[in-house]
Amino acid sequence: MINSDTYPTLADVVAERLDVVFVGINPGLASAVRGHSFSTPGNRMWPALHRSGFTPYRFRPEQERDLLGLGLGITSIVRRPTARAAELTPDEYLQGGEDLVRRMEALRPTWLAFLGVTGYRAAFGAVGAGVGAQSASIGGARVWVLPNPSGLNAHYPPAALAVEFARLRVAAGLPDRSGLLGDGPFGQSAG
């Protein structure tokens, strides 16, 4: 087994009062080593952000800090990198959830977008949570659960993943920055 305690932690990409902060479960080992979020080649986060209209082009992991200028950020529930989220303990999820609440109370984002129901359920005891808007708020932020963009998530092919991300973008009142969505229901902002 790999000792993930020897890997560096991954810095958050956050600032005060962002529109949406995307919340992963925890950093992968490859991302921790590279120093950038969602660095694994099979991860579909960056394509999903572009195809859904959050970004004007497909960002590379090393451009993650450019998200801040768009009102977007990235963090995780648990800060310890692992090869797979299955290596995390129930206590790590709960402690990570408490830590996330403290961090978000200070930063006051409008939306927290959890990348996968598993992490959200484990950290916040939200047993029945599913993809979409949640009734809960965390640190004053509204909560939305997105499908996990990992390449291992076969339930959501890239097009379906982009649709779910676009639903959040519209609910958050953000414009289609991609130019890919036209005049359909996901091409307009809600505001």
Tell me the per-residue pLDDT of 92-129, one tens digit each, with 9 for 90 and over: 999 999 999 999 999 999 999 999 999 999 999 999 99
Residue type, 140: G
Note the pTM of the prediction, 2 decimals: 0.90
Residue 82 has a CB neighbour count (10 Å cut-off) of: 20
Give the pLDDT confidence of 41-63 residue by residue, as tens digits: 778 999 999 999 999 999 999 99
**Core vs surface per residue 16-51: b (16+ CB within 10 A) or e:** eebbbbbbbbbbbbbbbebebbbbbeebbbbbbbbb
Flag whether pLDDT at 2 surpasses 60: no
pLDDT of residue 182: 60
Under DSSP, the state recorded for 156 is S
